[in-house]
Amino acid sequence: MKRRGCFIHVLRMLLAGVLLGALACAASWAGVMTRDVLEKKFPSPLMIAQKDDALPVWPVFRQNGTVTELVGYLFESIDFAAIPGFSGVPLNLLVALDAGGRFIDVQVISQHEPVFLDGLGEAPLHKFVSQYRGLSLKQNIAIDTARRDRAAQDGGNVHIDGVTKATASVRIINQSVLSAALKVARKKLGFSGLRDPDQIARVRQDVHETLDAKALAAEGLFKPLVLRNADVEKAFAGTAGAGLDEQAAAHPGELFADMRFAYVSVPSVGRSLLDDASWARLSERLEPGDHALLVQWRGRYGPVSDDFVAGAVPDRLILAQGGLPIEMRDMDLDLSLRRKEGAPASMKVFRVISQAGLDPAQPLDFSLRVTRLKGMIYPERIGQDFVLSYRLPQRFYSVPEGDSKSWLPLWKQRWIDIALLAVALAVLFIALSRQAVLSANARRLALFRNFYLAFTLLFIGWHAQGQLSIVNVTGVLQAMKEGRGLGFLLYDPISVVLWGAVLVSLVIWGRGTFCGWLCPFGALQEFSAKLGKWLHLPQLRLHTAADAKLKLLKYVVLAGVVGSVFVAPAATDRLVEFEPFKTAITLLFVRSWPFVLYAAGLLLASAFCYKFFCRYLCPFGAGLALLGRVRLLSWLARRPQCGKPCQTCRHRCAYQAIRPDGTIRYDECFQCMDCVAIYHDDDKCAPLMLEKKRGAVIPIRQV
């Protein structure tokens, strides 16, 4: 028994040492590749250099005679465009981009798409991403809705085959690949010209102007592109496409296309053009940072063909900025203009996701591709582009200041949430420091605790997304192992503030402050337990010995997760899912059914066995229990009679954190303070009850 106890003690101390060196301040999606793994995937004659200090990319070189030339860069899509997939988890793709912006290769590192896990299998996914090889970022890459034998040029787009029954997933993959590659190309390949790609402007949401049709036209906010048949015929003059359009030749003065373009996600433009109901529908569909571009047209030719599929990339219209195409996709929205003038017109609104890096301060170049066919069996395609440049007036966007590349703007943006959290933490710390006052009245303590747990779940968890977890620890360990900086931690201010509070509370009180008061999933479990009691479900309380053995499980889980970072990094992403925090708090149960079933099962278990996951299985709680050994105070008041012979607090402790001798196991205490309330209650505390009884005066009444 002594050897076993010594082994457990040593194991705990080793884990505590590891965790103390790897305290994280925020959760972050991060890449998992190492240089050794990449060298196996891209062997000689290619040479993989050390990871870039400023950007998470690996330069790739090749020896050419006596000269070492740059081939391109390797990077993971999740480091640049962590776009959630169908399951709510971002896909991670390994992208190899050459120095000219051409794709060398795209490979799947990890994915959680249900259709490729449980349905079609991964073979169609690997076949899909292989189509990027040889394509260039300077081409507008679109997913074809019709099957093709190979990539083909059509209407200004390069088409790649989609995957039947996985339309949404492959669109997300395409957006992830292109958004990540564009960011690398702008930073490393000079595709952004002389501009800093990190210093893009933001559309101002606080500018609300009412603009009439004349003002919109005068400022170029509803900008026209008008083409007559003669204009189009002139563009084809001297090419193989000249004279192929009989109608254009016969009626040169007639209208070919009359288009109007507007940046409708700019509040002043959108509200002035669209009616109130349409503006509301558009706003609801846009995520923060997304852009919406409206195109209205009349005439023979429009931005989409007759066989265009709703929700797809326009097959005749290309959006570019700085010479690079940016994917825009039909939002499939039925919207109406506030003022309808002239002949009936068609209209579509296209979305550009925030990760695409569109800069509102730079011109938008819309290219209308007009294609003519020459020949019957294998017709030759001859195309001409008609370009319209659209520029937003400066008052509608804000240019970032010099520090906007850093984490500081995010803190400024979330100052209200940070202030509310800081006030709430101050209230909690004051309350815990005055435990005697708070616990003097059990009803008041219960009311305060329930209110605070509701705040933790609703505000810290579901609103502010401040759920600390084992992912914090593994993310830091991975960064330290690969020699990367920890600056990414500062990009989640809520988690940083929470970690600051947790570190202070660990030193003062131990793990209980976070696990008992500040953990959103812990709060959800506690409410589940209260619901179980209210429904009169049987409450399971394990024997002391069994409870103590089960509590060791969380240390085993912790050791497995932390160890995987060094032994099997690819498995870490799966092992951290042992925590249900992402499902229940981050994604609010909007996830594939196995994850939801697992999280719901743990909550159900808590309805029968008080905070089952927190006490027996939580690896993050185990880590905090180890770190809590630096605690300075034994802050829970005890009497000489506690445990000798009084056992009231021990039997009423739902966490079973009090030993038979009356001492507190602070590594298992969740700081609920129920025992403190009993300590001060002369109707519940046996020593106080005895003292009260001895001091009682029996009045003598005369008969």
- pLDDT at residue 13 greater than cutoff 60: no
Residues 288 and 343 in one domain: yes
Q: Look at residue 679 and tell me if it is in a domain.
A: no
Residues 463 and 383 in one domain: no
ω into 45 cis (within 30 of 0): yes
| Mean pLDDT, residues 218-234 taken together | 93
Residues 431 and 499 in one domain: yes
Q: Look at residue 5 and tell me if it is in a domain.
A: no
User: How much is the pLDDT for 518?
Assistant: 92
- pLDDT at residue 357 greater than cutoff 50: yes
Q: What is the dihedral of CA 492, 493, 494, 500, to 10 degrees?
A: 110
Residues 168 and 253 in one domain: no
Least confident of 288-292, 432-436, 469-473: 432-436
- pLDDT at residue 681 greater than cutoff 70: no
Residues 298 and 358 in one domain: yes
Summarised one tens digit per residue, pLDDT across range 59-110 is 998 877 666 788 899 999 988 888 777 666 788 899 999 988 889 999 999 8
User: How much is the pLDDT for 484?
Assistant: 61
Residues 142 and 213 in one domain: no
| Mean pLDDT, residues 173-195 taken together | 80
Q: Which two tokens stand for residue 198?
A: 């990190």
| Mean pLDDT, residues 600-627 taken together | 90
| Mean pLDDT, residues 565-584 taken together | 84
- Total structural domains in the chain? 3
- pLDDT at residue 26 greater than cutoff 90: no
Summarised one tens digit per residue, pLDDT across range 329-349 is 899 988 989 877 666 789 999
Q: Pick the closest to residue 82 from 27, 119, 25 (CA basis).
A: 27
Of 159, 188, 217, the residue at which a domain comes to its end is 188
Q: Look at residue 648 and tell me if it is in a domain.
A: no
User: How much is the pLDDT for 443?
Assistant: 85
Q: Look at residue 564 and tell me if it is in a domain.
A: yes
Q: Which two tokens stand for residue 52?
A: 């870039």
- pLDDT at residue 22 greater than cutoff 60: no
Is this prediction's pTM over 0.75?
no
Of 622, 640, 658, the residue at which a domain comes to its end is 640
Residues 142 and 259 in one domain: no
Q: Look at residue 294 and tell me if it is in a domain.
A: yes
Q: Look at residue 500 and tell me if it is in a domain.
A: yes
Residues 384 and 424 in one domain: no
User: How much is the pLDDT for 216?
Assistant: 92
Of 188, 212, 227, the residue at which a domain comes to its end is 188
Least confident of 312-316, 511-515, 659-663: 659-663
Residues 99 and 161 in one domain: yes
- pLDDT at residue 4 greater than cutoff 80: no
Q: Look at residue 691 and tell me if it is in a domain.
A: no
Q: Can you give the three-state secondary structure of 113-144, one letter per residue?
A: CHHHHHHCCCHHHHHHHHHHCCCECCCEEEEE
Domain containing 158 equals 35-188
| Mean pLDDT, residues 120-124 taken together | 83
Q: Look at residue 194 and tell me if it is in a domain.
A: no
pLDDT band at 192 (very low <50, low <70, confident <90, very high): low
Residues 184 and 208 in one domain: no
- pLDDT at residue 112 greater than cutoff 60: yes
pLDDT band at 498 (very low <50, low <70, confident <90, very high): very high
Question: Tokens 């309808």 identify what position?
Answer: 340
* CA dist., res. 226 & res. 368, Å (int): 11
- pLDDT at residue 481 greater than cutoff 80: no
Q: What is the dihedral of CA 491, 320, 352, 346, to 10 degrees?
A: 160
pLDDT band at 19 (very low <50, low <70, confident <90, very high): very low
pLDDT band at 148 (very low <50, low <70, confident <90, very high): very low
User: How much is the pLDDT for 368?
Assistant: 92
Summarised one tens digit per residue, pLDDT across range 442-479 is 888 889 989 999 999 999 999 888 889 888 888 788 77
Residues 208 and 181 in one domain: no
Residues 223 and 358 in one domain: yes
Least confident of 270-284, 539-553, 647-661: 647-661
DSSP string for 160-212: EE--TT-HHHHHHHHHHHHHHHHHHHHHHS-TTTTS-TT---EE-SS------
Q: Are 62 and 47 in contact (CB under 8 A)?
A: yes
User: How much is the pLDDT for 422?
Assistant: 94
Q: Which two tokens stand for residue 2?
A: 């002594």
